[in-house]
Structure 1
Amino acid sequence: MKTKLIQTLKPTHKITIKQVQSLAILVMNQKEIETMVMEMVQENPLLEIHPDFYQGTVDYDFNQLADNHEKTLTDELLEQINTSKYKNKNCMKAIVYHLDSNGYLQVPLSEIKRATHFPIKDLKEALHHVQTLQPSGVGARDLKECLAIQCKRISIKNQDILLKCIDYLEDLSKGHFNKVAKCLETDEHTIKECLNRIKQCNPKPGAMYSQSIPYLYPEIFVTEEDGNYTIQTKNLSQYLSINQDITDVSDPEVKKYIKQQTKVLQELFASLSKRYSTLHTISTVLFQIQKEHILHDSPLIPCTYKQVGELVSRHPSTVFRSIQNKALQYEHKTILLSSLFTNESKDGLSSDQIKKELNTLIKEENKTRPFSDEQLVQLLKERDITISRRCVSKYREQCRIPNSSRRKIIS
């Protein structure tokens, strides 16, 4: 059997170091660009930074930036601890750092003791103090303790029965009021009143807070003059150049080194220029689409990465990379670009618009007979919004609205 060599043409694509650098710079935010440039100054003697570069960099006023975002649970608790008169503040802080996103302490105190070397007695006392902080319920080790912490702060005639009802949550959820009433030697009316009080508690006190503070460094600025809006982008690349005084040398080795470093900088400048051009183009189109939302807080209209990509002649993945961790500033508002994208329903509405309709329906419902998710589907359909029950449930949870059984007030 004879073997044959057959030559075929097969298209291949090898990504170059230059492309890798370009993609990396595209994703970077303004602060990361500044950090990279400052580090490169130490490595590349040819890089020259004009004095205006330092005027063009972001003013890192963290207090001002933090105002644009909700506090994290950790920030809220540490602030209360720092202004409190408790003695064991460091023990309290150690416990706060071990709370999960819902505000629960799922780590045993013995484990915190091993990590911090604080005496277990001090940690127990500190935990007690943490459980007195706001939001009520933080520091609990399980759901029952979380509800108990909150119920102890409720002023009610039968508070002892209220606290005992927490041990009968399963029976109460099934409507076995008579059974619980007999066990606690009281009447059904009292049990129903206690259940209504328990429903007012928050089983996840930490969930209302942002899980992290994504400090925003705005580099896209919207300005208005005589009704005309201009999109400006901070382009730090215009303040960078190659030091020509160093390039004029005769030594062959030094000349070779300078040539290599010059090429590195030229590729850097090209990547930065492309980044700012792409970001400016995308930001301009995005502002035109979501103008009413940015200026007047109107609901977002449907806008996807694919749609914007088609408008700016870029691949959706390029649009996605370009806007990550980038922020737009208009007057005193700083808006994350990624928050301006939203999918549309079959009816052409954005998820933001649907959430507003959902909130309105629930706000106007009869609290003794709240709408189920299935009923909400039908009510939205009457408003020409067709979505599935699963979508209703998802949007409701995103709006932090409990289900119908938890919204129900028993008379």
Structure 2
Amino acid sequence: MSKLTQQQKTEQTLSLTPAQIQAIKILELTGLELASRIEHELEENPALEEDYEQPTLETSSEEGENDTNDQDWELGEYASEDDIPEYKLRELQERQSVREEIPFASGAPSLDEQLMSQLSLVTPLTDRRREVARYIIGNINEDGYLTRSVEELQDDLLFKAGLDVSADELTELIRLIKTLDPAGIAAHDLQEALLLQIERLPSDELKPLVERMVRAHYDDFVNKRFDKLCVALSVSEERLAELYDYVGRLNPKPGNGFGDDSDARFAHFTPDFIVTERSGELLISLAEERDLPALRLSPTYLLMLEENKAKAKENRQSREAMTFLKHKVEQARWFIDALAQRQHTLRATMTAIVAHQRAFFLSGEVTDLRPMILRDIAEATGLDISTISRVSNSKSVQTDFGVYMLKFFFGEGMLNDEGESISTREIKKALSELIEGEDKRAPYSDERLTELLAERGYPIARRTVAKYREQLRLPVARLRKALRPAK
């Protein structure tokens, strides 16, 4: 029989403080989310307030006009004019002309709203029926598909909304939604989406054959088994090519073009960084900086804290008040420090990325991208790899050539025959060009693509070619085959 024993041991563990956790969460926020978070903190914590009296940097543009609004971020509660490097002073003069907000489907009604509006015209909607319909429509994904089953929707409505809805009622509402525009909406899969669209098209000699091909021979259709389809449909290759062209005009993603929610569709998308070129020099700015208020600890609360500290030994009420005030002040200080740390982290990360990928930011050519991994930027900034990963996965930059997610600039590399370092993105671009220019009647196999890439100076293995092709979402040669050249 085993004995119960008690023993002591010493071990090291790594844990995050509340301040560190808060800093990580704030780092991952978008500009809009951060503005909302600051507003929330100002409402919840009276020890935190906007610093309306914060000094601004006295620097003039070439025309002699001061731009104080763009300078608030430079000073803050812990900085002075002498702390600001010269390149940042120049950047302040440029920022007003380069900062832009990019509209994202501004004013467009949401897909949910359009469907609910159409549905109310084809069937009476009681409050209960409207709620059920709204829940069904809310489960349609961004591509326009309703992949959840009737049973799953029943369970969700019962447990989440407290509505006991019969399978027949759900099935009928789904059937009605499928009759709405855009055609193919709420289909369970691609096959059903195509059939729903085909049903609405005007009748012609091709329509019966196309519907038969998609409905009865879908597997052969998607796998491009041309010989089998010609026999099954009793058509020539020329007629089969016409059938494929017919299907090619349909929309495989009926919900495409609509955002995930109405808020996103009415919002403005603002990149986190703006990088512009001026006379060969790259200027970096944080897009959010001019819109975020400067914060400080409330002088009133600090005075109250000092007063209660002096009285803490005298009575219990003062001790409790001191504890409360100290907690609020500490929370406010953590928040201000977290914002300052966020600004430092974002700027340091973007500066390192621009320095590493300078050639791309000047030309906009993918071939100018250098191999770069998270460790490179971590070593350049002195930040942890996990921190660089969080920034690169959630932030974007507006350049003179478009808007990119920061993760776009990361990629491993290899050496070519001349010993030069080339990025995987450059290889992927070459691979994409080869596939785009191939004869679709006899597309290149992965083995042939490997040979052609080697001829271009990219000696990589066939399995690597296959991996890159899959990452580019390009199908295998058999599925790229066409009956006639693309027009």
Under TM normalisation by the shorter chain, which class is it?
0.7 to 0.9
TM-score, normalising length: structure 1: 0.74
C-alpha RMSD of matched pairs (Å): 4.5
**Aligned positions, number:** 391
Aligned counterpart for 1:129 among listed residues 172, 180, 204: 180
1:218 aligns with 2:271: yes
Aligned counterpart for 2:411 among listed residues 342, 362, 383: 342
Matches of residues 182-201 of structure 1 in structure 2 within 5 Å? Answer: 184=233, 186-189=234-237, 192-193=240-241, 196-197=244-245, 200=248
Q: Contact 1:110–1:120 at 8 Å: present in 2 too?
A: no
Matches of residues 101-180 of structure 1 in structure 2 within 5 Å? Answer: 102-107=143-148, 121=172, 123-130=174-181, 132=183, 137-149=184-196, 153=201, 157-166=205-214, 167-170=216-219, 173=223, 175=225, 177=227
Corresponding residue of 2:446: 373
Aligned counterpart for 1:353 among listed residues 411, 426, 442: 426
Change (3 A) 1:405 1:276: same
Instruction: Note the C-alpha offset of 1:306.
Output: 0.7
Matches of residues 21-170 of structure 1 in structure 2 within 5 Å? Answer: 21-51=22-52, 64-66=102-104, 77=111, 87-88=121-122, 96-100=137-141, 102-107=143-148, 121=172, 123-130=174-181, 132=183, 137-149=184-196, 153=201, 157-166=205-214, 167-170=216-219
Q: Distance in 1 between matches of 2:192 and 2:294?
A: 58
TM-score, normalising length: structure 2: 0.64
| Aligned partner of residue 23 in structure 1, secondary structure | helix
| Aligned partner of residue 32 in structure 1, secondary structure | helix
Matching residue's letter, 2:443: P
Superposed CA deviations along residues 201-220 of structure 1, whole A, max 9, x for unmatched, are 67943697698569754343
Corresponding residue of 1:314: 383
Superposed CA deviations along residues 4-27 of structure 1, whole A, max 9, x for unmatched, are x99987555443333333333333
Q: Distance in 2 between matches of 1:226 and 1:174?
A: 53
Q: Distance in 2 between matches of 1:67 and 1:331?
A: 21
Q: Contact 2:209–2:243 at 8 Å: present in 1 too?
A: no
Percent identity over the alignment?
23
Instruction: Note the C-alpha offset of 1:369.
Output: 0.7
Change (3 A) 1:108 1:323: closer
Q: Distance in 2 between matches of 1:180 and 1:227?
A: 59
| Aligned partner of residue 282 in structure 2, secondary structure | strand
Q: Distance in 1 between matches of 2:229 and 2:337?
A: 73
Q: Contact 1:309–1:315 at 8 Å: present in 2 too?
A: yes
Q: Distance in 1 between matches of 2:249 and 2:461?
A: 29
Q: Distance in 2 between matches of 1:52 and 1:409?
A: 69
| Aligned partner of residue 349 in structure 1, secondary structure | strand
Q: Contact 2:371–2:413 at 8 Å: present in 1 too?
A: yes
Q: Contact 2:441–2:482 at 8 Å: present in 1 too?
A: yes
Uncovered stretches (5+) of structure 2, i.e. residues with no partner: 1-5, 55-68, 73-99, 158-162, 312-317
Uncovered stretches (5+) of structure 1, i.e. residues with no partner: none
Corresponding residue of 2:302: 247
Q: Contact 2:101–2:268 at 8 Å: present in 1 too?
A: no
Q: Which moved more, 1:294-303 or 1:311-320?
A: 294-303
